[in-house]
Structures are given as C-alpha cells and as structure tokens.
C-alpha cells in the first residue's frame, strides 16, 4: 500500500528573524560605522571621567602612576552613581571577582559538609539592575533634552532671510543635545524702506549644554526685544550687556558675540565685536580682513563700553562669522582645525553660493576631526554680496 507523501516543511524563518533583529539593533549601520560610533563614544566617555586626572598623576611614573590613574577613574565612575547604586555595583564586582563561596551544612549528629556555590550569576544580575536603573534615568533625561532641543530650534531662524543682491547660509552643530551658540538674522525697519537695516548676530555663551542653552534663550529674548526698539547698534549692545550682567553670576557666565548691521542698498556694515572670534571679510580680490573693533564679552561688567567699527561689503565679497568651536575643533592627535584651514576652504568655494560653501566647510571639518568627539558647539554664518 503506497504511503502518503509527507508534507514539506517551509524553510526556517530563523535567519530572516535574525536579520530583522540585527537591523533593529544596529539601525542599518555597517560594522565599520558601529565601530566608529563606539570609538567616538569611548573617547568622549574617557574624557568625561578623566577630567582633572592629569593634576592627580603629575610627577608620578611607573606602577604608581598606573595605580593612581586606575584609582581616580574608579572613583570618578563610582561617584556619578547614587549611594544605593554604588553599593549594588560594589556587591556585583565582589561577586564577579570572587565568584566562589560556600557554607558549612550539617544535620544533627551528622557529618559537616561544605557546600560551594558560584556567585557570578548574582554579580551579573546586579550589574544588569544597575544598568537598567541608569538606562531609565538616561531615557527620561534624553526625552527632556529632546523637548529642550525642539524649543531651542524654535528660537533660531528658519529659512534664510531673502533680500536682493545678497545670499545667506548658516548652520550650527551642538556638542550636546542643546547648545550655547546662537545666530540670527533680523530685519530692522527704518522710517522708509531705504532706511531698513539687516542685523546679523552670532553669539557663544560660555559653557555647554543646558546651562548655556538657558542663557542663550535669555540672550535671544533680550536681543529680539531691543532690536525692535529703534536703538542704534551701540545702544543695542549696551542694553544686551546690561541684561547679560544680571544673569552672568558675577561674570562667570559671559557671552561673546558679533553684531553686524547691514545697509543693503550701499553694502555699508556697522559692526561690534564683543570678545568674539574676529569674523573674516574675504574680498573679491582674495584679500582677507578681520573685524575686531568692539570690546570685551557681554556680561562681565556694565562699566565696559563697545566701539563701533565700519566697513563695506562690495560685489563678490564674503562675510564669514563663526564661533570658536569651528577653528578649535580637534582631531585624535590633538591638532586644531585653526583659521588658515577655514580661509583655505573659503577661498576654494568663493565662486559658489553660501549654501554650497557651508556644505564644503562642514565636510572639511568632518574629514579633519574624524572620530574625535566634538568638544564645543560649532556655528557658522556666511553672507555674500552678489553682482
């Protein structure tokens, strides 16, 4: 009697499921991209935990130096945890490094037996508990930071302001989720259209992350209020300095800034440099000028005054305003990007539009820095007068 044919089993979905799992975990990144991200995170974490380490091991060498480094890193990591989590972590480390334990067990009148047990499972479990607790805190903080990032993005200008004869491009890259850098382009209407002026501002609040971002928001609100009041540029900066001094914690939280007020009909620029990196005025001929006239950063003292400089933007000229995070971007060897490289990129892209030059500049920064973590906010604003 013939037997019925057996039903063929469908091919296993294990491989497909594994691929989906890996795709979800890695978010589609290649192995070299994952390694690059890990290397960058590791460098950033080491820099975070090793802050102030050099002073502790100065003058030491050999075994003692290594011991002091290990000890300092251990306490730097441990002190970032809450007391309860420190205790859990210590128990986990003890269980992992001394995994074998035991107790003497005996029945009444019977022989004594030594029962061994392995503590590594419990050590791993305690490490997982500490990790989950820290992860929960990170998720909550990340959610709050993302909200703060959205709010901060509302404070910055969207599409560049358009006016005949000029092209603008700008971008910022925060070192953390939120930044202390600020840029803006504000139309200041005059009594007639011929009297209209355009105000360009790039500022850098001392510090990074949330404290700097909060002061940046205060700076933005003050600037927007004063820019609509019809004040001359010097009076506007004096008012901002007053506001900055009330929030600077005795000059600790100061702000460097550059202000340029452009007459679009003539190309005349009145500017004030308040302790900021001197912007570049790249002439159509290739000559480069630095706009340095001004005074100290805002928020140090209300007694300081700021001088007003004057220049002209002619056809083919570029105004390049940037924060120190651009020229001080460092690679793995500790070398900084520096201004000569910035000038070289500007010279190479001077014939194009600001948007294209900005892309070239960011690509040049990425190529120079590589996997080195970004240590400061980067902001750049480009203005070109076109024939």
Q: Is CATH 3.60.40.10 the classification given to domain 157-385?
A: yes
List b or e across 88-106, with b for residues whose CB sees 16 or more CB atoms inside 10 angstroms.
bbebbeebeeeeeeeeeee
Contact 211, 218 (CB under 8 A): no
Q: What does pLDDT average to over the chain?
A: 84
Q: At CB < 8 A and 24+ separation, what contacts does 121-124 make?
A: 122/92, 122/95, 123/91, 123/92, 123/93, 123/94, 123/95, 123/96, 123/99, 124/92, 124/96
Q: What pLDDT, in 10s, does the model give residues 314-344?
A: 999 999 999 999 999 998 888 999 999 999 9
pLDDT at position 7 is 52
d(CA 17, CA 35): 23
d(CA 56, CA 166): 54
Q: What pLDDT, in 10s, does the model give residues 72-115?
A: 888 888 888 889 999 999 989 888 888 666 555 556 655 655 55
Using a 10 angstrom Cβ sphere, with 0-12 exposed, 13-18 middle and 19 or more buried, the burial of residue 269 is buried
* Contacts of residue 288, Cβ cutoff 8 Å, sequence gap at least 6: 280, 281, 282, 343
Q: Which two tokens stand for residue 381?
A: 């604003």
pLDDT at position 175 is 82
For the chain, percent of residues with pLDDT exceeding 90: 37
For the chain, percent of residues with pLDDT exceeding 70: 88
Which H/E stretch holds residue 101?
strand 100-106
Domain boundaries, the chain: 157-385
Output 118 or 19, whichever has higher pLDDT. Answer: 19
Residue 23's pLDDT band, with cuts at 50, 70 and 90, is confident
Q: What pLDDT, in 10s, does the model give residues 225-283?
A: 898 888 899 999 999 998 888 876 666 778 999 999 999 989 999 999 999 999 999 99
What is the reported pTM?
Answer: 0.71
* Contacts of residue 283, Cβ cutoff 8 Å, sequence gap at least 6: 289, 314, 316, 317
d(CA 91, CA 93): 5
């Amino acid at each position: 009697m013939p037997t019925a044919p057996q039903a063929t089993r469908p091919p296993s979905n294990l491989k497909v499921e594994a691929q989906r799992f890996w795709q979800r975990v890695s978010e589609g990144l290649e192995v070299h991209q994952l390694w690059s991200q890990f290397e960058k995170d590791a460098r950033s974490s080491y820099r975070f935990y090793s802050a102030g380490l050099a002073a502790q091991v100065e003058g030491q060498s050999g075994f003692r130096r290594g011991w002091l480094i290990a000890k300092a890193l251990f306490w730097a990591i441990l002190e970032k945890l809450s007391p309860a989590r420190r205790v859990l972590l210590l128990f986990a480390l003890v269980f992992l490094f001394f995994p074998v334990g035991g107790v003497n067990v005996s029945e009444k009148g019977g022989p004594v037996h030594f029962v061994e047990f392995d503590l590594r499972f419990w050590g791993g479990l305690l490490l997982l508990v500490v990790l989950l607790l820290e992860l929960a805190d990170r998720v909550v903080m990340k959610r709050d930071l993302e909200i703060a990032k959205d709010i901060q993005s509302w404070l910055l200008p969207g599409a560049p302001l358009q006016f005949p004869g000029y092209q603008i491009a700008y971008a910022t890259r925060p070192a953390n989720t939120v930044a202390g850098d600020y840029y803006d382009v504000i139309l200041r209407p005059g009594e007639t259209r011929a009297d209209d002026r355009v105000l360009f501002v790039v500022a850098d609040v001392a510090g990074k992350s949330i404290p700097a971002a909060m002061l940046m928001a205060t700076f933005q609100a003050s600037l927007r209020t004063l820019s609509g009041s019809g004040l001359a540029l010097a009076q506007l900066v004096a008012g901002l300095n007053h506001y900055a001094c009330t929030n600077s914690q005795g000059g600790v939280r100061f702000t460097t800034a550059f202000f340029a007020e452009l007459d679009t009909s003539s190309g005349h620029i009145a500017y004030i440099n308040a302790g900021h990196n001197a912007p570049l005025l790249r002439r159509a001929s290739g000559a480069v000028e630095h706009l340095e006239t001004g005074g100290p950063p805002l928020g140090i003292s209300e007694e300081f005054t700021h001088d007003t400089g004057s220049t002209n933007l002619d056809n083919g000229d570029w105004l390049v305003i940037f924060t120190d995070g651009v020229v001080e971007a460092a690679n793995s060897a500790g070398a900084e990007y520096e201004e000569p490289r910035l000038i070289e990129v500007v010279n190479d892209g001077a014939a194009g539009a600001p948007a294209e030059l900005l892309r070239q500049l960011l690509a040049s920064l990425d190529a120079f820095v590589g996997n080195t973590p970004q240590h400061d906010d980067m902001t750049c604003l480009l203005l070109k007068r076109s024939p």
